[in-house]
Amino acid sequence: MNLFDMLIVIAATLILITAFARLNDIRRTQTSKRWWVRRIGLLFVSVSMVMMIASYFTVATPYWNQVMRLTGLWGFALTWITTPGMPPWWKYISKYDPKVE
């Protein structure tokens, strides 16, 4: 394992710990669809990071990279669009200003 691989494993470990911490922050009383989508997104990110870390220490199958990318990207997307306290993304794109209406 060279320095580049070591840096990737350290970054993936930090992302994995952060995803577990954010999953732990979601309370059992938060049961709306938004929170379930966020849980699924964080779970996908966790699975992707576990696969990435394991691929450096085991023999990975040829399709592992595609599964890891799929779960990682979907996990990131689902987690990002359900971030609490942030307005929906379409308000940023359309430059929505409620004062104009």
**pLDDT tens sequence across 4-55:** 989 999 999 999 999 999 999 999 999 888 899 999 999 999 999 999 898 8
Q: In this structure, what token pair is assigned to residue 83?
A: 């971030």
CA distance 77 to 92: 16
41 membership: H or E segment, kind and range: helix 33-55
Q: Is the pTM here over 0.95, yes or no?
A: no
CA distance 61 to 21: 29
DSSP label of 53? H
Determine how many CB atoms are found less than 10 A away from the CB of residue 52: 22
Q: How confident is the model at residue 89 (pLDDT cuts 50, 70, 90)?
A: low
* Amino acid code (one letter) for 88: P
